[in-house]
Chain A
Amino acid sequence: MKILVCISHVPDTTSKINFTDGDTTFDTNGVQFVINPNDEFGLTRAMWFKEKQGANVHVVNVGGPETEPTLRKALAIGADEAIRVNTVATDGYSVAKQLAHIVSEGGYDLVIGGRESIDYNGGMVPGMIAKLIGANFINTCISLEVEGTSATGIREIDGGKETLKTSLPLVIGGQKGLVEESDLRIPNMRGIMQARSKPLHVKEPIAANAETQTTQFEKPAPKGAVKLVDNVDDLINLLHNEAKVI
């Protein structure tokens, strides 16, 4: 089985979000970039397929050279090869077009993406890849088993879960649950050394127009100060008469 794990290069979850250039550009100053958490759960599940079922695992990112440390980290965790599509990721659709091309070219059986990236929260790339290449698709996937060409997945739905049966080729939008938080791997020294000599292919992009573009970023309006009360009667009174939510 050939697996492609799509890796978004995103600001660490603790990052303070600021913008520059008249609020049109994300300010990377002092920001540490990481593998998108939803993708990391998928990558770790891919490692399970590699170790238990002999899968071959590639990782891919659409972005400039600054994203290579993130791909190297994925190699250090255990991916066999990495691909970087050498173009600035502009919108979800253009990224999905690039990735769909990589999937078709590489003949991958399983494509693992994240439910969403924690920067743009688009949640669209896996579904678009599936539609563009005509593969099956499971979103918000919290469990995945593959046997031959059949796959069984569990999807998180509002208020519960759904068990689904499908077949390869398959694309999933993965999240926590594919593996547990405690299963995530911190690359060890051996992994980091090996990652240095693993292939990282840089591919030039295909033509793909963005369908959407950010014209401006905004920060949420500053919040007023908290009203502290010292008893529950006052709280109920405020929630009823002032906030009008009960």
Chain B
Amino acid sequence: MSVLVFTESEGGAFKKIAHEAVSYAKGIADMMGTSVTAIAINANNSNELGNFGASKVLEVSNNDLNTFNAEAYADIITQAAKAEGAEVVIVTSSANGKFIAPLIAVNLEAGYVPNVTELPKSSAPFIVKHSVYTNKAFSMTEINTTAKVVGLAKNAYGVKENATDITNETFTPAINVGGVEVVSVDKATDKVTIADAEVVVSGGRGLKGPENWHLIEDLATTLGAATACSKPVSDMGWRPHSEHVGQTGKPVASTLYIAIGISGAIQHLAGINSSKVKVVINNDAEAPFFKAADYGIVGDAFEVVPQLTEKLKAFKAQNA
């Protein structure tokens, strides 16, 4: 019996969500009186997972797996779970994590709960808390099966240091590449993604047109933030769909979310509710977003945002 955690990496380096997932796995393992085994595919420096509580890491290294392949990855994690006799398998809520989790669940005949925000309320019965109704509520859900798959929400549990002696094992599973082949990957490598960002700067109709987006971009660059937008902005084609955040767009679970010229429709608020600190800049004091925000400035974005960018640059220079 153990807790198995899939640790995502990119270009050999673990993502921050991998550290968070291991931290969470350690929390569950402690509740259940067992240890954490990580599985890493084509990652370097697997030992760093020991900093967050992993006792063992299964290392898979295979050139056929350099591009993500859901079928193959799910199959490998299934084999690892069986080899380890894992009772709980932890995956993250990244695009890739959500792709593979249902496949692993069927393979293992395991109940699966995504978007889990906390350690289980109890391990027997196994009851986890997860967000539902697009962050408008939570469900306490019991998983009835022997094997369980838990999808961890991003930025909910946090990264927790927990130095643990770690052993590495080479794991050589059968590789089943399945019937879906990647032809090409189109990914901006110089931009912070909404999924990975600590800070997200988001613009709405209040910016009046795509030609004013340099205000958003300059502020985002200053903060090392990802840029996002409201639904009307993407529907009007001012910004790409990939930047649309909200109920039918991308969910945001950043540490800081800055909304500029966004009124705060209920669907938008649902999508960004998991962000920790929300700042709203809007010239309409009655904008519903102020009710959902932590901090706000009632003012004209065209005046406030450039000031904020300049002052933040000075602040960053001073605190660098």
- CB of A85 within 8 Å of the partner chain: no
A13's contact among B137, B183, B247, B293, by CB below 8 Å, is which? Answer: B247
What residues of chain A lie closer than 8 Å to B77, measured between beta carbons? none
Interface residues of B in 178-237 (CB under 8 A from A): 178-188, 191, 193-196, 199, 223, 235
Whether the pair B295, A239 counts as a contact (CB closer than 8 A) is: yes
User: B261-301 toward A: CB 8 Å interface, digit per residue (1/0)?
Assistant: 00000110010010011011000000000111111111100
Which residues of chain B have C-beta atoms less than 8 A from A182's C-beta? Answer: 235
Interface-central residue, A13, A14, A132, A229, by most chain B CB under 10 Å: A13
Q: What residue in chain B is nearest A134 (Cβ atoms)?
A: B179
A67 to chain B minimum Cβ distance, whole angstroms, is: 18
- Binding stretch for chain B, among A42-50, A74-82, A194-202, A219-227: A219-227
In the complex, are the beta carbons of A211 and B145 less than 8 A apart? yes
Taking a contact as CB atoms closer than 8 A, the residue among B68, B99, B297 that contacts A229 in the complex is: B297
Q: Name the segment of B52-60, B109-117, B167-175 touching the other chain.
A: B109-117
Contact A212 B143 (CB under 8 A): yes
* Contact size range, B: 35 or more
Q: Is the CB–CB distance between A124 and B137 below 8 Å?
A: no
- Looking at the assembled complex, report how far the CB atom of B52 sits from the nearest CB atom of chain A, in whole angstroms: 21
**Are A212 and B111 in contact, with the CB atoms below 8 A?**
yes
Complex contact B102–A124 (CB within 8 A): yes
Q: Which residues of B contact A157 (CB under 8 A)?
A: 68, 95-96, 185, 187
* A211 pairs with B143, CB closer than 8 A: yes
**A218 at the A/B interface (Cβ < 8 Å)?**
yes
The answer, yes or no, to whether A208 is at the interface (CB within 8 Å) is no
Indicate if A17 sits at the interface (CB-CB under 8 A).
yes
Q: Quick check: B115 and A159 within 8 Å, CB to CB? A: no
A131-B103, A131-B106, A160-B186 known; A215-B111 Cβ under 8 A = no
Q: Are B99 and A232 in contact, with the CB atoms below 8 A? A: no
- Give the residues in chain A near B277, CB-CB below 8 Å: 239, 243, 245
A119 touches B132 (CB 8 A): yes
Write the chain A residue with the least CB distance to B303. Answer: A232
Asked whether A214 is an interface residue with its Cβ less than 8 Å from the other chain, the reply is yes
Contact B107 A118 (CB under 8 A): no
Distance of B226 from chain A, by nearest CB (Å): 9
Within 14-44 of A, Cβ neighbours of B (below 8 Å) are at: 14, 17, 19, 37-38
Measured in the bound complex, the distance between the Cα atoms of B181 and A163 in whole Å is 9
Residues of chain A lying within 8 A (CB to CB) of residue B132: 119-121, 217
The size bracket of the interface on A is: 35 or more
Q: A121-B114, A213-B141, A220-B273 are in contact. Are A177 and B241 (CB under 8 A)?
A: yes
Given A14-B267, A136-B179: A233 touches B186 (CB 8 Å cut-off): no
Q: Judge whether A137 is part of the interface by a CB distance below 8 angstroms.
A: yes
User: Nearest CB to that of A138 among chain B residues?
Assistant: B180
B66 on interface, CB distance cutoff 8 Å: no
Q: What are the residues of chain A within 8 A of B82 when measuring CB–CB?
A: none
Interface 1/0s, chain B 113-129, versus A by CB < 8 A? 11100000000000101
Known: A159-B187, A219-B137. A140 touches B276 (CB 8 A): no
Please determine whether B180 and A136 come into contact, CB atoms closer than 8 angstroms.
yes
Complex interface: chain B residues within 8 A of A68 (CB): none
The answer to whether B242 touches A223, judged by C-beta atoms less than 8 angstroms apart, is: no
Chain A residues whose CB sits within 8 angstroms of the CB of B98 once the complex forms: 123, 139-140
A136 to chain B, nearest CB (A): 4
Task: Please name all residues of chain A whose beta carbon is closer than 8 Å to the beta carbon of B137 when the two chains form the complex.
Answer: 17, 19, 217-220
Does B39 make an interface contact (CB < 8 A)? no
- A95 shortest CB reach to chain B, Å: 12
Q: Please state if A227 and B295 are interface contacts (CB–CB under 8 Å).
A: yes
Question: Of B179, B276, B279, B308, which contacts A167 at CB under 8 A?
Answer: B179
Binding site for A on B (CB under 8 A): 68, 70-71, 94-96, 98-99, 101-103, 105-107, 110-115, 127, 129, 131-145, 178-188, 191, 193-196, 199, 223, 235, 241-242, 244, 247-249, 255-256, 266-267, 270, 273, 276-277, 279-280, 290-299, 304, 307-308, 311-312, 315, 319
A-B CB contact pairs (8 Å), 13 listed: A92-B102, A92-B112, A127-B103, A128-B106, A160-B187, A160-B242, A161-B185, A176-B248, A176-B249, A220-B138, A227-B294, A232-B304, A243-B277
The 8 closest A-B pairs by CB, nearest first: A160-B187, A127-B102, A159-B193, A211-B111, A158-B195, A131-B106, A124-B102, A17-B136
13 additional A-B residue pairs with CB within 8 Å, beyond A118-B133, A136-B180, A140-B98? A96-B106, A121-B132, A124-B112, A126-B102, A127-B99, A131-B107, A142-B241, A211-B110, A211-B144, A214-B140, A219-B136, A235-B308, A243-B295
